[in-house]
Structure 1
Amino acid sequence: YDNAIKSAVRPGDVVLDIGTGSGLLAMLAVRAGASHVYACESVGIIAQKGREIITANQLSDRITIVGKRSTDLVPGSDLPAKADVLISEIVDRNLVGEGIIPTLEHALMVLVKPDARILPQSGQLFIRAFECAELHATYNVDEVAGFDVSLFNEFSPCGSSTLINLGGYILNPLSEPLLAFDFCFTKPDFAANEKTIEIRGSRPGMLHGLVAWFQLCVDDSNTIDNSPWRPGNHWSHEVCLLKAPRPLKPGETVHVQVTHDMKTFSFEMVET
């Protein structure tokens, strides 16, 4: 974000920072040359702490934190002039769960200039097939102490996507990453979508599930992602474990239904 902000912000710019939290991105914008940053934070205790941090860094004359959602900002009052630059980092594990799409759609129409520079510029959701017997066994039960309790698997999340912390598990990828959705954050042309995509096996193994992650393109040169294969990744992930694992050969395909309603994202395998 620091590199992208340095490239986007020009001396004298008015910047809008949505979901400022600690105020870090706002302070980076001031350092990059912004004349003033209007930062909104809807959680009262967080907004107050952000103000304290801004004051501690002697930037309270350059940064104003407004304790509101950006969709509640009043142009001409909370935001004296439309912004030259829009900055936000309101993403969750599935990119869209913190409302980045409707939030940016409103901001682009109401709060920023027509030629405003937008950070981040786009975001993508990817899905990949994997093998991990240990993970699958964690969410399935067969025999315990000599008794068959497999009927309890009716309550297992297998078969649909669910949040799983993958820490400690080693996922063996069986396909290349496949793009599920691509969101452009610089144009307010968003719409819910549902479609079926085809994942093709790239190496042999036992298909235990599918995992999703996002890539955030802050600008053309700077990206952030929460891929489960990225070292040091701390995010939980949306995972769809198969009810009945099966072999996957190179070139073999599986069909996956992917859905987003601009606030949630889910996926599941489709039997063909």
Structure 2
Amino acid sequence: MKQDVDHVMGEDLKRALEALRSHVDGKRKGTHPTYDPSKDRFELFLMYNTPPESDYGSTAVRLPYPYRNLTKNVCIFVPDEQGTDVQNLITSSLSLKEFNLKVLEVNTFRREYSSLKLKKQLRDDYSLFLIDTRVIRPKLLALLGKMFLSRHFDLFTVDASTAENLEQGIKTALQSISINFKGTSMQTIDIGSMKQSADELYANARDTLQNGVLSRCAWKDIDSIMVSDGRHKARLFVYAHDFSGEMKSLPEAREDEVSVKATKRRKGSSPVN
């Protein structure tokens, strides 16, 4: 039976997030009156013994306390020659008009956003990025490059074939995070910002681990977990794998095996009288 987060980590995760949030709160006192609490972000930092297998998909986790700004712009990548159809869906749907949607065909993105400067501008202008199910994901990821595929970038898969499916996909994405497993030994996952209370950050972190990370690997595959803040780089350990327990579970050698090994002569040596 898979052990849940509360059973394995006890109160450590909750207490660490309370302490970390208090630390950041103390640091921000006296800051500019236009201080934006959403800029102070909190994250999980994981190190793996055995990383989850790399793939081109992602694992979406719906958060109990979403932290995205719902008024931000949304960009969706669609197949070539499908941009007009998707744009017509958006125009004809009253519910989709509440979103500021930019529709980008893959080849249009390749042609119009070839430089790092333009890619950076696109990423800065939109807080949520979607990919239609009909787009070949590996192809798009190769075009996006490191400018997009760094930390804090989510790319959600949605069905843009109908207005109803697209609307539901957008609303789900706005309440979720997308975890991309790259087969590396380290991983950083956002769980919220100073806009959330310590209890809300804890609920987000618990569900991210339980429904996201542990859906792809076991506890024994995780070396350690820390919680950290993005601005001040403070980190607190909340989990470390216990290798001593695995060593104790190894079978012990029998006494007759130990005796045989101890009396075995080296080649060419004289027997003991």
Q: Assess same fold via TM > 0.5.
A: no
Normalising TM by the smaller chain, what interval? under 0.3
Report the structure, 1 or 2, having the larger strand content: 1
Structure-2-length-normalised TM-score:
0.28
Q: Larger C-alpha radius of gyration, 1 or 2?
A: 2
